[in-house]
Amino acid sequence: MRMKKTFVLFFSLFLSFNVALAGRKVALITGSVSGIGLGIAMEMAKGGYGIVLNGFGDVDSAVTQVSTFGTRVTYINADLKDPRQIASMFQAIVSTFGRLDVLVNNAGIQYVSPIEKMPIEKWNDIIAVNLTAPFIAIQHALPIFREGGHGRIINIASTHGLVASVDKLAYVAAKHGVIGLTKVVALETAQTNITCNAICPGWVLTPLVEKQISDRAEQKGATIEDEKSALVSEKHPSQQFVTVEQIGQAVLFLCSPAADQMRGASLVIDGGWTAQ
Protein backbone atom coordinates (compact mmCIF):
# COMPACT_ATOMS: atom_id res chain seq x y z
CA MET A 1 0.00 0.00 0.00
CA ARG A 2 2.83 2.39 0.91
CA MET A 3 4.56 1.62 -2.40
CA LYS A 4 1.34 2.30 -4.27
CA LYS A 5 0.88 5.65 -2.48
CA THR A 6 4.50 6.56 -3.20
CA PHE A 7 4.03 5.77 -6.88
CA VAL A 8 0.81 7.82 -7.06
CA LEU A 9 2.54 10.75 -5.35
CA PHE A 10 5.54 10.52 -7.70
CA PHE A 11 3.28 10.30 -10.75
CA SER A 12 1.23 13.30 -9.56
CA LEU A 13 4.38 15.38 -9.05
CA PHE A 14 5.71 14.29 -12.45
CA LEU A 15 2.41 15.21 -14.12
CA SER A 16 2.24 18.57 -12.33
CA PHE A 17 5.83 19.34 -13.34
CA ASN A 18 5.13 18.62 -16.99
CA VAL A 19 1.88 20.57 -16.96
CA ALA A 20 3.81 23.49 -15.47
CA LEU A 21 6.44 23.20 -18.19
CA ALA A 22 3.77 22.99 -20.88
CA GLY A 23 2.20 26.20 -19.59
CA ARG A 24 5.41 28.19 -19.63
CA LYS A 25 6.02 30.88 -22.18
CA VAL A 26 8.41 29.82 -24.93
CA ALA A 27 11.25 31.84 -26.45
CA LEU A 28 13.20 31.19 -29.63
CA ILE A 29 16.68 32.70 -29.61
CA THR A 30 18.59 32.37 -32.88
CA GLY A 31 22.36 32.00 -32.73
CA SER A 32 22.08 30.82 -29.14
CA VAL A 33 24.66 28.04 -28.87
CA SER A 34 27.32 30.50 -27.71
CA GLY A 35 28.03 34.17 -27.04
CA ILE A 36 25.24 36.71 -26.63
CA GLY A 37 22.54 34.26 -27.70
CA LEU A 38 23.51 31.69 -25.08
CA GLY A 39 23.67 34.42 -22.45
CA ILE A 40 20.14 35.51 -23.38
CA ALA A 41 18.92 31.91 -23.29
CA MET A 42 20.39 31.44 -19.80
CA GLU A 43 18.74 34.58 -18.44
CA MET A 44 15.40 33.71 -20.01
CA ALA A 45 15.59 30.16 -18.64
CA LYS A 46 16.20 31.66 -15.19
CA GLY A 47 13.08 33.74 -15.81
CA GLY A 48 11.04 30.58 -16.38
CA TYR A 49 10.80 30.51 -20.17
CA GLY A 50 10.91 27.35 -22.23
CA ILE A 51 13.84 27.77 -24.59
CA VAL A 52 14.41 26.92 -28.24
CA LEU A 53 18.11 27.06 -29.09
CA ASN A 54 19.43 27.47 -32.61
CA GLY A 55 22.91 27.89 -34.04
CA PHE A 56 26.23 26.19 -34.65
CA GLY A 57 28.82 25.08 -32.11
CA ASP A 58 28.84 22.90 -29.02
CA VAL A 59 25.13 22.15 -28.89
CA ASP A 60 25.35 19.57 -26.09
CA SER A 61 27.11 22.04 -23.81
CA ALA A 62 24.57 24.78 -24.56
CA VAL A 63 21.60 22.51 -23.89
CA THR A 64 23.17 21.28 -20.65
CA GLN A 65 23.86 24.81 -19.41
CA VAL A 66 20.36 26.10 -20.14
CA SER A 67 18.71 22.95 -18.77
CA THR A 68 20.20 23.52 -15.32
CA PHE A 69 17.41 26.02 -14.62
CA GLY A 70 14.74 23.32 -14.81
CA THR A 71 13.05 24.57 -17.95
CA ARG A 72 12.28 22.72 -21.14
CA VAL A 73 15.02 23.17 -23.75
CA THR A 74 14.93 22.16 -27.39
CA TYR A 75 17.59 22.63 -30.04
CA ILE A 76 16.61 23.07 -33.69
CA ASN A 77 19.29 22.98 -36.34
CA ALA A 78 18.38 25.48 -39.05
CA ASP A 79 20.67 27.28 -41.49
CA LEU A 80 19.31 30.84 -41.41
CA LYS A 81 20.56 31.49 -44.94
CA ASP A 82 17.87 29.06 -46.14
CA PRO A 83 14.26 30.38 -45.89
CA ARG A 84 12.89 26.83 -46.07
CA GLN A 85 14.85 25.80 -43.00
CA ILE A 86 13.59 28.86 -41.11
CA ALA A 87 10.01 27.86 -41.99
CA SER A 88 10.65 24.28 -40.82
CA MET A 89 12.05 25.61 -37.53
CA PHE A 90 8.81 27.43 -36.73
CA GLN A 91 6.75 24.39 -37.68
CA ALA A 92 8.86 22.29 -35.29
CA ILE A 93 8.38 24.82 -32.46
CA VAL A 94 4.60 24.74 -32.80
CA SER A 95 4.65 20.93 -32.96
CA THR A 96 6.90 20.63 -29.89
CA PHE A 97 5.57 23.39 -27.62
CA GLY A 98 2.20 24.27 -29.12
CA ARG A 99 3.06 27.95 -28.71
CA LEU A 100 5.67 30.67 -29.16
CA ASP A 101 5.75 33.86 -27.09
CA VAL A 102 9.11 35.51 -27.77
CA LEU A 103 11.34 35.72 -30.83
CA VAL A 104 14.89 36.98 -30.28
CA ASN A 105 16.67 37.53 -33.59
CA ASN A 106 20.26 37.32 -32.42
CA ALA A 107 22.24 35.31 -34.98
CA GLY A 108 24.91 37.28 -36.75
CA ILE A 109 28.11 36.89 -38.74
CA GLN A 110 30.89 39.34 -39.57
CA TYR A 111 33.57 39.88 -42.19
CA VAL A 112 36.03 42.76 -42.00
CA SER A 113 37.26 44.24 -45.28
CA PRO A 114 37.63 47.55 -47.12
CA ILE A 115 34.78 48.07 -49.58
CA GLU A 116 36.98 47.57 -52.66
CA LYS A 117 38.05 44.15 -51.42
CA MET A 118 34.71 42.94 -50.00
CA PRO A 119 33.87 39.60 -51.67
CA ILE A 120 30.30 39.61 -52.94
CA GLU A 121 29.65 36.19 -51.36
CA LYS A 122 30.59 37.59 -47.94
CA TRP A 123 28.26 40.55 -48.45
CA ASN A 124 25.43 38.19 -49.44
CA ASP A 125 25.99 35.90 -46.44
CA ILE A 126 26.06 38.77 -43.94
CA ILE A 127 22.90 40.35 -45.35
CA ALA A 128 21.20 36.93 -45.44
CA VAL A 129 21.94 36.03 -41.80
CA ASN A 130 21.91 39.46 -40.16
CA LEU A 131 18.97 41.08 -41.97
CA THR A 132 16.98 38.75 -44.23
CA ALA A 133 16.73 35.95 -41.64
CA PRO A 134 15.16 38.25 -38.99
CA PHE A 135 12.66 39.46 -41.61
CA ILE A 136 11.68 35.89 -42.52
CA ALA A 137 11.56 34.80 -38.87
CA ILE A 138 9.23 37.70 -38.05
CA GLN A 139 6.99 36.72 -40.97
CA HIS A 140 6.60 33.26 -39.46
CA ALA A 141 6.29 34.43 -35.84
CA LEU A 142 3.59 37.06 -36.36
CA PRO A 143 0.73 34.65 -37.25
CA ILE A 144 1.57 32.57 -34.16
CA PHE A 145 1.62 35.69 -31.98
CA ARG A 146 -1.64 36.99 -33.46
CA GLU A 147 -3.34 33.67 -32.80
CA GLY A 148 -2.08 33.67 -29.20
CA GLY A 149 -2.96 37.33 -28.71
CA HIS A 150 0.48 38.27 -27.45
CA GLY A 151 4.10 38.32 -28.55
CA ARG A 152 7.49 39.93 -28.15
CA ILE A 153 10.01 40.43 -30.97
CA ILE A 154 13.48 41.53 -29.92
CA ASN A 155 16.10 42.14 -32.57
CA ILE A 156 19.71 42.16 -31.41
CA ALA A 157 21.12 44.94 -33.54
CA SER A 158 24.35 46.68 -32.52
CA THR A 159 25.78 50.12 -31.98
CA HIS A 160 26.73 49.54 -35.62
CA GLY A 161 23.02 49.89 -36.34
CA LEU A 162 23.38 53.52 -35.22
CA VAL A 163 26.96 54.46 -36.13
CA ALA A 164 29.58 53.12 -38.53
CA SER A 165 33.14 51.80 -38.43
CA VAL A 166 35.58 51.40 -41.29
CA ASP A 167 35.97 47.99 -42.95
CA LYS A 168 32.58 46.75 -41.68
CA LEU A 169 30.43 47.72 -44.63
CA ALA A 170 28.10 44.71 -44.84
CA TYR A 171 27.68 44.38 -41.07
CA VAL A 172 26.90 48.09 -40.61
CA ALA A 173 24.46 48.07 -43.54
CA ALA A 174 22.68 44.99 -42.19
CA LYS A 175 22.42 46.32 -38.63
CA HIS A 176 21.10 49.69 -39.83
CA GLY A 177 18.54 47.62 -41.75
CA VAL A 178 17.59 45.75 -38.57
CA ILE A 179 16.79 49.07 -36.86
CA GLY A 180 14.53 50.03 -39.78
CA LEU A 181 12.90 46.58 -39.77
CA THR A 182 12.22 46.94 -36.05
CA LYS A 183 10.47 50.29 -36.50
CA VAL A 184 8.23 49.11 -39.33
CA VAL A 185 7.17 45.94 -37.51
CA ALA A 186 6.46 48.03 -34.40
CA LEU A 187 4.19 50.34 -36.40
CA GLU A 188 2.36 47.46 -38.07
CA THR A 189 1.65 45.84 -34.68
CA ALA A 190 1.11 49.07 -32.73
CA GLN A 191 -2.54 48.35 -31.87
CA THR A 192 -1.93 44.78 -30.76
CA ASN A 193 -0.32 43.04 -27.79
CA ILE A 194 2.72 42.34 -29.97
CA THR A 195 5.77 44.57 -29.58
CA CYS A 196 8.99 44.82 -31.55
CA ASN A 197 12.12 46.47 -30.21
CA ALA A 198 15.87 46.31 -30.74
CA ILE A 199 18.86 46.09 -28.43
CA CYS A 200 22.09 47.74 -29.54
CA PRO A 201 25.07 46.34 -27.63
CA GLY A 202 28.54 47.79 -27.84
CA TRP A 203 31.58 45.55 -27.46
CA VAL A 204 30.75 42.22 -25.83
CA LEU A 205 33.41 39.56 -25.27
CA THR A 206 31.87 36.95 -27.56
CA PRO A 207 33.76 34.49 -29.79
CA LEU A 208 33.12 36.91 -32.70
CA VAL A 209 34.77 39.83 -30.89
CA GLU A 210 37.55 37.68 -29.44
CA LYS A 211 38.49 36.67 -33.00
CA GLN A 212 38.67 40.34 -33.99
CA ILE A 213 40.93 40.99 -30.98
CA SER A 214 43.13 38.04 -31.91
CA ASP A 215 43.39 39.24 -35.53
CA ARG A 216 44.29 42.77 -34.42
CA ALA A 217 46.92 41.45 -32.00
CA GLU A 218 48.48 39.33 -34.75
CA GLN A 219 48.52 42.21 -37.23
CA LYS A 220 50.13 44.59 -34.72
CA GLY A 221 52.40 42.09 -33.00
CA ALA A 222 50.70 42.93 -29.70
CA THR A 223 49.39 40.76 -26.89
CA ILE A 224 45.76 39.69 -26.68
CA GLU A 225 45.32 41.55 -23.38
CA ASP A 226 46.79 44.77 -24.81
CA GLU A 227 44.47 44.63 -27.82
CA LYS A 228 41.49 43.78 -25.64
CA SER A 229 42.14 46.87 -23.55
CA ALA A 230 42.78 49.02 -26.62
CA LEU A 231 39.57 47.88 -28.33
CA VAL A 232 37.24 48.63 -25.43
CA SER A 233 38.99 51.90 -24.55
CA GLU A 234 38.73 53.03 -28.17
CA LYS A 235 34.92 52.98 -28.15
CA HIS A 236 33.62 52.68 -24.56
CA PRO A 237 34.15 55.68 -22.25
CA SER A 238 33.35 53.25 -19.42
CA GLN A 239 36.39 51.18 -20.51
CA GLN A 240 34.40 48.05 -19.72
CA PHE A 241 32.86 45.43 -21.98
CA VAL A 242 29.12 44.82 -21.97
CA THR A 243 28.26 41.40 -20.51
CA VAL A 244 25.94 38.79 -21.98
CA GLU A 245 24.05 38.76 -18.67
CA GLN A 246 23.27 42.46 -19.03
CA ILE A 247 21.87 41.89 -22.51
CA GLY A 248 19.83 38.93 -21.27
CA GLN A 249 18.34 41.06 -18.50
CA ALA A 250 17.47 43.74 -21.05
CA VAL A 251 15.62 41.11 -23.10
CA LEU A 252 13.65 40.07 -20.01
CA PHE A 253 12.76 43.70 -19.38
CA LEU A 254 11.44 44.09 -22.94
CA CYS A 255 9.31 41.00 -22.34
CA SER A 256 7.84 42.42 -19.13
CA PRO A 257 4.63 44.47 -18.72
CA ALA A 258 6.84 47.49 -17.95
CA ALA A 259 7.81 47.52 -21.65
CA ASP A 260 4.28 47.18 -23.07
CA GLN A 261 4.48 50.65 -24.62
CA MET A 262 8.05 50.36 -25.84
CA ARG A 263 7.49 49.97 -29.56
CA GLY A 264 10.17 50.40 -32.20
CA ALA A 265 12.74 51.45 -29.60
CA SER A 266 16.48 50.85 -29.79
CA LEU A 267 17.77 50.07 -26.31
CA VAL A 268 21.46 51.01 -26.29
CA ILE A 269 23.89 49.18 -24.00
CA ASP A 270 27.31 50.39 -25.11
CA GLY A 271 29.37 51.80 -22.25
CA GLY A 272 28.79 55.33 -23.57
CA TRP A 273 29.97 54.65 -27.16
CA THR A 274 27.12 56.48 -28.92
CA ALA A 275 26.91 59.23 -26.28
CA GLN A 276 30.13 60.77 -27.59
CA 197 to CA 152: how far, in whole Å? 8
In the annotation, is 171 catalytic?
Answer: yes
CA 51 to CA 39: how far, in whole Å? 12
**Catalytic pick from 49, 75, 111, 171?**
171
**Quick one: residue 35, left, alpha or beta (phi over 0 = left, psi -120 to 50 = alpha)?**
left
**Quick one: residue 191, left, alpha or beta (phi over 0 = left, psi -120 to 50 = alpha)?**
alpha
**b/e sequence 76-95, b meaning 16+ C-beta within 10 Å:** bebebeebebbeebbeebee
Identify whether the C-beta of residue 229 lies closer than 8 Å to the C-beta of residue 21.
Answer: no
Catalytic residues: 171
